[in-house]
Amino acid sequence: MSSFLEVEAQALAVVDRYLDAINARDTDAIRDAFNFPHLRIGPDATLTRYEQPSDYSFDSFFSRTGPDGWDYTKWDESRAVFASEKQAHIAVEFTRYRADGSVIGRFFSLYVVTLQDGHWGIQFGSGNG
């Protein structure tokens, strides 16, 4: 049985790996960070369910990044707000930046990180980011 601290450390590492993959625009690493199916809440509160990594469109994701969107993200704070043997809820406050270093905004998300088939991954993320 895993302790809260062990689960918290593993879940925080998954979330950090996800951030690194986003900042590097590394689609393979982003896919690897997710367990599927993956649920996503959009800004208009619509719920999208992705059954497989191939269903997760990076075209839309990357169209919001780069020269006309945000360039990179930094975690301001990430902490576990719940942990059990196979799941942790990670609250993250983060800042998005343009390429010139100017701040676009600060946001909050909650990631549910689960252990599934021996693989820790983000199963669900929501927020205004």
Q: Environment class of residue 45 by beta-carbon count within 10 Å: exposed (0-12), middle (13-18) or buried (19+)?
A: exposed
- Listing from the earlier edge strand, what are the strands of the sheet with 119-127? 47-50, 34-41, 119-127, 103-116, 87-97, 72-83
Instruction: Give tens-digit pLDDT for 18-63.
Output: 899 889 988 888 888 877 777 666 667 677 777 777 777 777 777 7
Q: Of the candidates 41, 102, 34, which has an alpha carbon nearest to the alpha carbon of residue 71? A: 102
Residue 86: CB partners within 8 Å, gap ≥ 6? 7, 114, 115, 116
Q: Which amino acid is at 118?
A: G
Residue 46 confidence (pLDDT): 74
- Start-to-end Cα distance in the chain: 34
Average pLDDT, the chain: 82
Out of 8-12, 60-64, 80-84, 94-98, least confident range: 60-64
pLDDT of residue 4: 77
Domain count, the chain: 1
76 or 36, greater pLDDT: 76
35: domain range?
A: 4-127
CATH code of residue 65: 3.10.450.50
Q: Residue 129 pLDDT > 70, yes or no?
A: no
Confidence of residue 15 (pLDDT cuts 50, 70, 90): very high
